[in-house]
């Protein structure tokens, strides 16, 4: 292995460590606890080392979000693939989305709530974001309408449901009924 290869590998390992520790702190204590100083202390590198990898805290949060989108795409894909029918796919993906959002609150917050320069539907949209959205498009495409429009509506409904349930503003025990309403609306073509 060349010196350049070793340095590249070590750099990637440091970045992965920074992202992993960021996620741990955020899930345990919330995003307000994530600071460059705190990260430097936790991973035992100087602040300049962190800045050599990420321009600022927002860039670290964005890296966490990108990782989250890859994980979301995988979870949604598995849910879609495990469904026994096209109709069941909408429900399975909805539950996978809600489970993802509710089981990883800080990660979900980095992906969808915190200010970010990560954008969808742009020429430079990151592949991880495109992959997650592609699963939603594929899931709703058999039901008429413009698949991207229906997918955005499906996504908006799932996001709203997850945020409202996460904040305790809607009753968690009625999740099944809400998912059934959403599935019925999409599968009937009324979205």
Q: What is the C-alpha to C-alpha distance for residues 178 and 120, in angstroms, rounded to an integer?
A: 26
For residue 137, the model assigns a pLDDT of 96
Neighbours of 116 (CB within 10 A): 14
Q: 63-79: per-residue pLDDT in tens?
A: 999 999 999 999 999 99
Residue 143: closest CA among 97, 84, 91: 91
**137 and 154 together in one domain:** yes
Token pair 């025990």: residue: 173
Residues 78 and 133 in one domain: yes
49 and 118 inside one domain? no
C-beta of residue 89 within 8 angstroms of C-beta of residue 80: yes
Domain span at residue 146 reads 58-187
* 94 and 74 within one domain: yes
DSSP-derived secondary structure letter, 191: -
Same domain assignment for residues 77 and 42:
no
Residue 31 shares a structural domain with residue 81: no
Residue with tokens 């709530």: 113
101-122 residue pLDDT tens:
999 999 999 999 999 889 888 8
Number of domains, the chain: 2
> Could you tell me if 72 and 23 lie in one domain?
no
DSSP class of 123: T
Same domain, 102 and 169: yes
Per-residue model confidence as pLDDT tens digits over 150-159: 999 999 999 9
Residues 48 and 77 in one domain: no
Same-domain status, 73 and 163: yes
Residue 144: which of 187, 92, 82, 97 has the closest Cα? 187
> What count of residues does the chain have?
191
* CATH number for position 40: 1.10.10.60
- Whether residues 83 and 160 share a domain: the answer is yes
C-alpha–C-alpha distance, residues 51 and 64, integer Å: 16
């Amino acid at each position: 292995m060349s010196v350049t290869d070793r340095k590249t590998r070590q750099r990637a390992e440091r970045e992965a460590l920074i992202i992993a520790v960021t996620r741990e702190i955020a899930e345990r204590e919330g995003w307000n606890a994530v600071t460059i100083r705190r990260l430097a202390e936790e991973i035992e590198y100087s602040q300049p080392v962190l800045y050599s990898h990420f321009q600022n805290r927002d860039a670290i949060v964005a890296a966490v979000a990108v990782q989250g989108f890859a994980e979301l795409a995988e979870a949604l894909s598995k849910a879609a693939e495990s469904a026994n029918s096209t109709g069941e796919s909408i429900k399975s993906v909805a539950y996978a989305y809600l489970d993802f959002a509710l089981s990883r609150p800080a990660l979900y917050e980095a992906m969808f709530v915190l200010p970010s320069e990560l954008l969808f539907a742009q020429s430079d949209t990151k592949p991880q974001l495109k992959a997650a959205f592609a699963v939603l498009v594929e899931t709703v495409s058999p039901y008429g309408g413009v698949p991207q429009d229906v997918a955005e509506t499906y996504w908006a409904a799932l996001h709203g449901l997850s945020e409202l349930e996460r904040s305790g503003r809607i009753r968690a025990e009625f999740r099944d009924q809400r998912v059934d309403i959403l599935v019925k609306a999409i599968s009937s073509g009324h979205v």
